[in-house]
Structure 1
Amino acid sequence: MSTPTTTPTYLFESSWEVCNKVGGIYTVLSTKAFSLKKIFDDKAIFIGPDIWEQEPAVDFIEDNSLFAEWREYALTNEQLKVRIGRWNVPGNPPVILVDFKPFFGDKDSLFFSMWETFRVNSLNAYGDYDESCIFAYAVGKVIESFYTYYKLEKESVVAHFNEWMLGMGALYLQKQIPEIATIFTTHATSIGRSIAGNNKALYAYMDGYNGDQMAYELNMEAKHSLEKQTALHVDCFTTVSDITAVECKKLLDKEPDVITPNGFELNFVPEGDQYSAKRKQARCQLIRIAEKLIGSEMSENAILVSTSGRYEYRNKGLDIFIDAMGHIRTSGELQREIIAFIMVPGHVYDARADLKEILKQDYETKNPLQAPFVTHWLYDMEHDKIISHIRQAGFTNNSSDKIKIIFVPCYLSGSDGIFNTPYYDLLIGMDATVYPSYYEPWGYTPMESIAFGIPTITTNLAGFGLWAKHFVSGNSLSEGVMVLERTDFNYFEVTDSIAEAILELSRKNKSERTEIHKHCFALSREATWSKFILHYQESFHKALVNKDKRIAKSMVSI
């Protein structure tokens, strides 16, 4: 990688997940903010959707003094309604939340302009396409207004857009203010995720797939068209891992200009006595809730195992996790108790009232609750894939079973009604995590796990898994990260390997587990933003250089 020689004065970074905790990109941006602050100070500005109406936005601290004159100008002259403040994460970067709903009236003219100029085909759009594109358009208008008001023509400015949802923002800016350099990052291609999610063999037949054809077949034409044209037209196109770079080249017809792996900030992890206290507290809480749900006492030395992430049943390997735990249950080899947690947000109806009351009154329970493997009631529970698979695998969570499995189908933001504890404050109590992903462009969940000292199982189909193999063999949990070889066709081999690894961990003594924790912490220090931010600096440099070339080319053609 060449050393970057050009750094922008201003950086605007936008995503649907700025101050909106709905997925992994929230973690990417909220942890990266600290490193960007060191480079840009308050000239790295995040832009997100104002979807909160009367409610306070997540982790957003409003500051009416910040860019106050521009805010009034934008509202009065351009009908841009924004809230301005700071993101309540390390670095506390400036944030602009934009109300995009007033711009829905511009939809038809916007989509026509995108087709006419960039050949973005929005004809067969459905679902969240319109809302995402109007938000992206509003982001473009916010940057345009800010740039014009503060007369940034003599400054070097980069605008960074994340995922297909922000594609029209990048294209709008490139058309309206060509002097702004644009970066577009795909964290996972929409068509690649769709191929995998539709139970098609993505990797075995990658060379035979045509992205446009598959988009037509899977009814993904609008999203794919927007993502592809944005990748082709921006000044710098990036993705997060080598495995997704191959996908981009084959399905989007565009090889990424830079690979920008996702880092983590260790300032999210407690240290010393605070770490020990939080780990003990998490374990006590997890075991207590399991006991109340199941109606029997559990050992305080039980092995706690979890998986988490987005509810993508096959892509995230949730099916394999349940089968691996089932394999352990029937193996006859388990000497210690295990509680396996599936922490994956589902279509939650409400926190269980019976479980809430038992926890509140601290009743001693001798019998399991109805459906003793789920902490929150779901809509249409009978057809939920995870619950159906748990039953199919033979789990009953009887007191005689040495392994219990519990589905936590809610966002662990600290206000779910049962745990009322943020995800990280529960993760720290685990003994191992398992993420047997089939489709995982990067993989924040295993990275977060080792950052908190928890050994993890991932696969070679995850960007993080491939990265980890530069530092460990990946053959054993004893190294901190176990990287399983996963293909389109070896489901049962992966299931068996996970079961064997957890059984082996359950046989280790305290000093052996302490050594594993040390390996986790050591490897996590290799994945910090202080090391990975250089890749982003390279993308800033390339965007600015390519922007100059683009402008020079357009001048020649006039």
Structure 2
Amino acid sequence: MEQPAVALDLLIETSWEVCNKIGGIYTVLSTKADTLHELYKDKVIFIGPDVWSEQNPSPYFIENPSVLKGWASTVSLPHGIKVRTGRWDVPGKPIVILVKFDTMYALNDTLFGEMWQRFGVDSLHAYGDYGEACAFSHAAGIVIESLCSYYKVGPRSHKNVIAHFDEWTTGMGLLYVKWKLPQVATVFTTHATSIGRSICGNGKPLYGQLQNYNGDQMARELNMEAKHSLEKIAAHQADCFTTVSEITAIECEQLLDLRPQVVTPNGFEKNFVPPRSRFKKERQSARKLMLEAASALVGRTLPEHTMIVATSGRCEYRNKGIDMFLDAIAALGVRAPRRETLAFVMVPAWSKAAREDLVKALESDHEGWHRLPDPVMTHTLNNPDSDPIINRIHAIGFTNSADSHVNVIYVPCYLNGTDGIFNAEYYDLLIGMDATVFPSYYEPWGYTPLESIAFGVPTVTTSLSGFGQWILSTTDNQLYSCGVNVIGRGDYNYSEVVDNIARTLADLNECDEEETAKISSAAMHTSSRAAWSYFVAYYIDAFEVALANRNTNRK
């Protein structure tokens, strides 16, 4: 890799998802880490929340007190803040500081008043996770202040230091740095605007009506004032404001009254994909896990050549197109595909535990399998009456009966290796699939389809995702040549998109081994063009903008 255009003395990135796997931002940071470390070595430091305990340690954090020992052994942080130092257990093994911020809650009211006076952040109507996010990011800002003091990053030091903050959840940290450390250049990345996500989540049309929405007004209507205010002001105060796709840049310009200076699309790294020497074996292992769980539920052995399809991601029923996926699978069933089809909805919800009857069935003699009650889910739910996914599965009429040629199974838990049924991580199962579908209505980027093609699994997504827009701008959008099918989706063409997804899956169902191999190879080739080694250049641009703009007055 070539030497970066901008030299940095320190790059500190703060996110709620550092060593804390919740959603797509974890994937952004954990896959980007290797490339950043290659460029800047141990000048890269990630800061995340210490929400762990001895009984429940982070599986992603390797504690090592010798990391940053000179600072950690001498630092005395105020307000009872505690830190642990170590490495993130991902390629590149970057330095991590986990921050224990419990004592900061008591300072929130004072912080809110200070940020109202200095920047106009309106925290008056805050609720839910707002207080937690602000307590953490305030503590992170104090940690950054301490690091800068230790490394002698003063107003006259002429050192290039970047403090990068992800999402509204770290906005208070950015504003603290702007207040206390004007010599530090700040970058703020919104991976999705809080108000845009809320508009879509409340069933309102976003795209055809975007020009008619006022972000502040919608925040008041949807009770999002505090988060929206913090996000908007952090974007305006940052020395460089970025987002992950052009479709979200347009959204930011309308709802946050500011167009990002740089669009920083999300890359991926091949080091998360098994080498070719192990690929076939791991694919077979994944298929066995999924087919056995499904067979134990439906009470019969599903054939090895069953077509396995899935959707996954954040539990946002409409925004992520989970409703559309289920309707498309129902439409596929009407088409009577040649191969049996098994469709998984792998979306973490409010799950209670792995089903005991399913666990027992998997442990028993397979010849004694019988169809389990309600064989459409792997785990029990705490809220089965209000869970939209299981209710839609039942409403459509999926029963996974003996004569069902298309079966649907809901996996409402995090696939982190300890789910009780598969006991495997999501990537360990993804490699065994034949296709994925992510028909999102609101998707600023779309990691799940990119992950899919990186594993050679063809995917279907929509033109409303940032990833889909990237595919449309860089390929011919043909499955055989790029492994992706981007279907045009708008506010009012739901049924048309459902039919197009069903048709695409039916076509894949008919593919022979040679055609399947060709599509898989094309998918992998497309994913290689989204490697961080290419996309990191956009972050270098953002760093240059931030360094050029630091110390300037912004609205």
State the TM-score, normalizing by the size of structure 2. Answer: 0.97
Aligned mates of 1:81, 1:442 — CA distance in 2? 34
- How far the C-alpha of 1:74 sits from its partner, in A, is 2.7
Match status 1:270 vs 2:270: no
* Contact in 2 for aligned 1:170/1:182 (Cα 8 Å): yes
Equivalent residue number for residue 505 of structure 1: 508
Question: What does 1:217-366 align with in structure 2 at a 5 Å threshold?
Answer: 217-331=221-335, 333-366=336-369
SS in 2 for 1:73: coil
Aligned mates of 1:68, 1:549 — CA distance in 2? 34
1:251 maps to amino acid: L
- Of 72-81 and 279-288, more deviation after overlay is shown by 72-81
Equivalent residue number for residue 80 of structure 2: 79
Cα-to-partner distance string for 1:249-301 (whole Å, 9 max, x where unaligned): 00000000100000000111112220111011101111111100110111100
* Contact in 1 for aligned 2:299/2:370 (Cα 8 Å): yes
* Contact in 1 for aligned 2:328/2:502 (Cα 8 Å): yes
Aligned length: 549
1:83 maps to amino acid: R
1:253 maps to amino acid: D
Aligned mates of 1:96, 1:362 — CA distance in 2? 48
Question: What does 1:464-503 align with in structure 2 at a 5 Å threshold?
Answer: 464-476=467-479, 479-503=482-506
The match for 1:420 among 398, 420, 423 is: 423
- How far the C-alpha of 1:436 sits from its partner, in A, is 0.2
Aligned mates of 1:230, 1:479 — CA distance in 2? 38
With over 3 angstroms needed to count, the CA separation of the structure-2 counterparts of 1:67 and 1:246, relative to structure 1, is same
- How far the C-alpha of 1:421 sits from its partner, in A, is 0.3
SS in 2 for 1:6: coil
- How far the C-alpha of 1:76 sits from its partner, in A, is 6.3
Equivalent residue number for residue 33 of structure 1: 33
2:296 maps to amino acid: K
Match status 1:166 vs 2:167: no
Equivalent residue number for residue 98 of structure 1: 99
Aligned mates of 2:7, 2:242 — CA distance in 1? 17
- How far the C-alpha of 1:476 sits from its partner, in A, is 4.3
With over 3 angstroms needed to count, the CA separation of the structure-2 counterparts of 1:511 and 1:5, relative to structure 1, is closer
Cα-to-partner distance string for 1:52-87 (whole Å, 9 max, x where unaligned): 122211310000111224223334666330010000
- How far the C-alpha of 1:357 sits from its partner, in A, is 1.8
Equivalent residue number for residue 544 of structure 1: 547
* Contact in 1 for aligned 2:79/2:104 (Cα 8 Å): no
Cα-to-partner distance string for 1:423-464 (whole Å, 9 max, x where unaligned): 001000000000000000000000000000000000010000
Equivalent residue number for residue 65 of structure 2: 64
- How far the C-alpha of 1:478 sits from its partner, in A, is 6.1
SS in 2 for 1:74: coil
2:150 maps to amino acid: Y
1:536 maps to amino acid: Y
Equivalent residue number for residue 535 of structure 2: 532
1:126 maps to amino acid: Y
* Contact in 1 for aligned 2:458/2:479 (Cα 8 Å): no
Aligned mates of 1:76, 1:199 — CA distance in 2? 45
Aligned mates of 2:323, 2:247 — CA distance in 1? 22
Aligned mates of 1:298, 1:161 — CA distance in 2? 47
Percent of residue pairs bearing the same amino acid type = 51
Aligned mates of 1:365, 1:12 — CA distance in 2? 57
- Of 427-436 and 387-396, more deviation after overlay is shown by 387-396
* Contact in 2 for aligned 1:191/1:224 (Cα 8 Å): yes
* Contact in 1 for aligned 2:11/2:163 (Cα 8 Å): yes
With over 3 angstroms needed to count, the CA separation of the structure-2 counterparts of 1:125 and 1:395, relative to structure 1, is same
Equivalent residue number for residue 127 of structure 1: 128
Question: What does 1:362-511 align with in structure 2 at a 5 Å threshold?
Answer: 362-476=365-479, 479-511=482-514
Following TM superposition, the consecutive aligned residue runs of length 4 or more in structure 1 with deviations greater than 4 angstroms are: 475-478
1:243 maps to amino acid: I
Unaligned runs of 5+ in 1: none
* Contact in 2 for aligned 1:240/1:262 (Cα 8 Å): yes
Aligned mates of 2:306, 2:173 — CA distance in 1? 50
* Contact in 2 for aligned 1:457/1:482 (Cα 8 Å): yes
With over 3 angstroms needed to count, the CA separation of the structure-2 counterparts of 1:457 and 1:188, relative to structure 1, is same
Aligned mates of 2:77, 2:446 — CA distance in 1? 43
Aligned mates of 1:368, 1:490 — CA distance in 2? 37
1:114 maps to amino acid: M
* Contact in 2 for aligned 1:133/1:166 (Cα 8 Å): yes
- Of 353-362 and 10-19, more deviation after overlay is shown by 353-362
Unaligned runs of 5+ in 2: none
1:450 maps to amino acid: I
Aligned mates of 2:376, 2:197 — CA distance in 1? 29
- Alignment RMSD: 1.5
* Contact in 2 for aligned 1:239/1:258 (Cα 8 Å): yes
SS in 1 for 2:188: strand
* Contact in 2 for aligned 1:263/1:532 (Cα 8 Å): yes
